Each structure stands twice: as structure tokens, then as C-alpha cells.
Amino acid sequence: MIALVQRVSRGAVYIGGKKIASIGQGILALVGIEREDTTKAADRLAERILTYRIFPDAQHRMNRCLEEIGGELLLVPQFTLAADTHKGTRASFAKAAPPEQAQKLYQYLVDRLQQRYPKVHSGVFGATMSVELTNEGPVTFWLQAKG
């Protein structure tokens, strides 16, 4: 399971021009799900997203996590993160989970995060979304969890 996490001062998701979710300071995480992913991987990824230290401390070092700053989290499903781009000029999605499996695992991840942390918002699985964000730093990390 993959999360491309971005430190943001704001973020929002729109469907058909209508805002469906938005956050202030925190993390916007694009989430990709691969065929071999399980709930164990989702549990590990949830832990990493909440505790990964990407926010500055008093000395301007990235030593604080989302929970420590009380920031918000916006999850956005993005199957293209599971693409294989090693050859040619067109991505292969053979490693991406089928939609039914991916939707279940994505919802499991959202539910787990919401159980643990009160400031979690989500895009809509399978929808065509417009994502708006202001990346601070810029700070972006690729997190992966297996299992």
C-alpha cells in the first residue's frame, strides 16, 4: 500500500465543481493500493501516516508528526500510484488492486484512521476528483507498507 504524503497549509477535493472535503494545516495523502495489499499493510500505513515526522520543531527540523501538531488529514484514493512506469511510454496497472479489493482496503484505511484520530477527511473512491493543495516546504514523501 502506498501513500504519497504532502505537508500542506490547506487542501481540498472537488467533484463536479462541488467541494466535498477540505483541510487546513496537515497532510494530504494520495493513496494507491496494490494487488498483494492486506489489512495488515493498511494498519501499518495508517500508523506511518499519523506518526511520520514531517513538521518542523522549534529548531526548524522535521521532528513533529501530524498528531503532535493537531493537524488535519485528507486522504485521496489514487490508483495511478500503483502503476509500473519502468518501461516504455505508457504505464502498466497490472500491480494495481482490482477496484472491489482496492475500495474495501481504502475504506478500511479511512475507518482505521478515523477511529484513531478525529481530524480525518476523505475523497471519494472511484470518482473523478479535482484536488487542490498548497504544499508547504515543499515537503513530499513516498510511504509504503507491505503485509
Q: Give the domain ranges of the chain.
A: 2-144
Mean pLDDT confidence for 9-28: 98
Distance CA 66, CA 27 (A): 7
In contact, 77 and 101? CB cutoff 8 Å: no
pTM score of the predicted model: 0.95
Concerning whether 80 is annotated as a catalytic residue, the answer is yes
The one catalytic residue among 80, 85, 93, 115: 80
Concerning whether 79 is annotated as a catalytic residue, the answer is yes
CATH code at 2-144: 3.50.80.10
What pLDDT was estimated at residue 147?
Answer: 74
Residue 106 predicted with pLDDT over 80? yes
Mean pLDDT confidence for 16-38: 98
Side-chain half-sphere CA neighbours of 38 within 13 A: 3
Please write down the HEC assignment for all residues of the chain.
CEEEEEEEEEEEEEECCEEEEEECCEEEEEEECECCCCHHHHHHHHHHHHHCCCEECCCCCEEECHHHHCCEEEEEECHHHHCECCCCCCCECCCECCHHHHHHHHHHHHHHHHHHCCCEEECCCCCCCEEEEEEEEEEEEEEECCC
Q: pLDDT tens digits for 29-62?
A: 999 999 999 999 999 999 999 999 999 999 999 9
Mean pLDDT confidence for 83-100: 94
Residue 110 predicted with pLDDT over 90? yes
What pLDDT was estimated at residue 82?
Answer: 92
Chain centroid to CA 138: how far?
Answer: 16
Concerning whether 140 is annotated as a catalytic residue, the answer is no
Side-chain half-sphere CA neighbours of 107 within 13 A: 8
The one catalytic residue among 6, 55, 78, 125: 78
